[in-house]
Amino acid sequence: MRREKGMLAVIAVLIICLFAIVGEYPNRMIPVYAEESTADGLKYQINDNLAVEITGYFGDETDLIIPSQIAGYPVKSIGNKAFSSCNLISVTIPDSVTDIGIYAFFDCGSLTSITIPDSVTSIEAATFYDCASLKNVNIPNSVTRIEAAAFYDCGSLTEIIIPDSVTSIGDEAFHGCWKVTEIIIPDSVTSIGGGAFAYCDSLKSVVIPDSVTNIGGGAFYRDYGLIIYCNKNSAAYEYAQGEPGIQTKDLSEKLTPSETPIPNETPIPSETPIPSATPTPSETPTPSETPIPSETPIPNETPIPNETPTPSETLAPSETPDPGKTPVSSETPMPSTLPTPDVTPDPIPTDKPIQQPDMIYGDADNDGLVTAQDALLCLKNVVKLYEMTAEEKIRTDVDADKQITAQDALCILRKVVKLVDLFPVENQQELK
């Protein structure tokens, strides 16, 4: 009996202490996790670590500054799909945030700029998928991974700066960023995923160091006219040998990011101080016209005036789009058709017999075969998941109605399973 009474006394004391603590710190002891709360248009929940996770947004603000604290707790994470399909124009994320979930800003078509703090260590999968208006994004030096499809179809990005903290770039990470012209991969990166920079139609220069030992299939697919600056026997060099329309140049030729056209023809820009060798001002009206060091092999004899007119003939270096013309320069104007989301019949009838006399109708992806993959590409264009080029539309309009519709995809599938031998467009041509 005494032992039982003693145990009951101990339990009673513990219960009294527990109530006293709960009464003094009610919010600290019982965090609200199961239920979502709201503050200034932000949906959030407090997790077991007494930290806030943003789970959604229903506010009217278009320029959003996420607070670093809500209800007295630090904002630590942005949940999956938290801002998906929001009409935000700009977002500033506080430096208290360490994690941004997948699809966090998916399909934010109006988003033009976002500030990511250096507390974030990775850009997760599809975080900015299909943010078609995104022009400015600063990837901080704290980020070590850019995951799959992180910036998929961000067609308004004109510049991508990858910090030297990044070690891997995921599959299709920058797929369809067609306004980007140049990328420098830092020597911290060891792998580039498949399709990482596919369909970047304006991309003409990429620097890939020897640190990259793995490049996935189609990493630079359809980037016609691209020059990869790399060393021989590197993974980048081996990749380029098997990718049509891509050239390689030695890494040493890449002097500055802007010298992609013919770097070995302009190696001595610093040796054009001809004005200093021409003391008489009257003889220096054309220093701006002598940008070609190769034409001035005798700098000491510059007083010969009849040799200076040649710069007008050699002005071609600024007009030397040789590298841009390399394999298929006709596809460089492709971006002009991409920004228009509607499938207009205009590009289909115009270039039909001229652009590809040997084209295969139904071969949407231009791989030389008519397969179910071509039908899938057609359907993706119909539902706006992919924007076809004028050339692709010509090959895909197999029912000859001057539009890309699901009917074209059905016709392609019928031919794949051998229900038909000829497409309607081919029948029309035979009748003619």
pLDDT tens figures, 279-295: 444 444 444 444 444 44
The answer to whether residues 327 and 366 touch, using CB atoms and an 8 Å cutoff, is no
Please tell me the predicted confidence (pLDDT) of residue 368.
83
- Candidates 360, 383, 364, 389; CA nearest to 375 is 364
Amino acid sitting at position 431: L
Backbone angles phi, psi at 256, to 5 degrees: -135, 160
Write out pLDDT tens, residues 101-124.
999 999 999 999 999 999 999 999
> If pLDDT is split at 50, 70 and 90, which confidence band does 329 have?
very low
More confident residue, 263 or 375: 375
Q: Give percent of the chain with pLDDT exceeding 70.
A: 67
> If pLDDT is split at 50, 70 and 90, which confidence band does 429 have?
low
- Candidates 194, 138, 193, 185; CA nearest to 166 is 185
More confident residue, 403 or 335: 403
Please tell me the predicted confidence (pLDDT) of residue 386.
87
Q: Where are the beta strands (DSSP E) in 208-264?
A: 214-215, 226-230, 246-250
Quick check: 379 pLDDT over 50? yes
Write out pLDDT tens, residues 37-48.
898 899 999 998
Domains defined for the chain, CATH in brackets: 28-143 (3.80.10.10), 340-431 (1.10.1330.10)
Average pLDDT over residues 369-377: 88
> If pLDDT is split at 50, 70 and 90, which confidence band does 255 have?
low
Distance of alpha carbon 78 from its chain centroid, rounded? Answer: 22
The sign of the torsion formed by the CA atoms of 284, 286, 292, 298 equals: negative
More confident residue, 384 or 281: 384
Average pLDDT over residues 262-291: 43
Write out pLDDT tens, residues 221-249.
999 999 999 999 999 999 999 888 899 99
Please tell me the predicted confidence (pLDDT) of residue 432.
52
Angle, CA 265 vertex, CA 264 and CA 268 arms, to 5°: 90
Contacts of 182 (CB under 8 A, 6+ apart): 203, 204, 205, 206, 257, 260
Please tell me the predicted confidence (pLDDT) of residue 152.
97
Instruction: List the single range of 95-99, 148-152, 168-172, 241-245 with lowest mean pLDDT.
Output: 241-245
Three-state DSSP state, 56 = strand
pTM (2 d.p.)? 0.55
Please tell me the predicted confidence (pLDDT) of residue 12.
60
- Say which DSSP state 14 is in: H
C-alpha dihedral, 241 to 247 to 251 to 256, nearest 10°: -160
Residue labelled with tokens 């009257």: 282
- Give the other-Cβ count within 10 Å of 229's Cβ: 22
46: alpha, beta or left, given left = phi > 0 and alpha = psi -120 to 50? beta
Angle, CA 86 vertex, CA 83 and CA 88 arms, to 5°: 100
Which helix (DSSP H) or strand (DSSP E) does residue 428 occupy? helix 424-431
Write out pLDDT tens, residues 57-107.
999 999 999 999 999 999 999 999 999 999 999 999 999 999 999 999 999
Please tell me the predicted confidence (pLDDT) of residue 358.
59
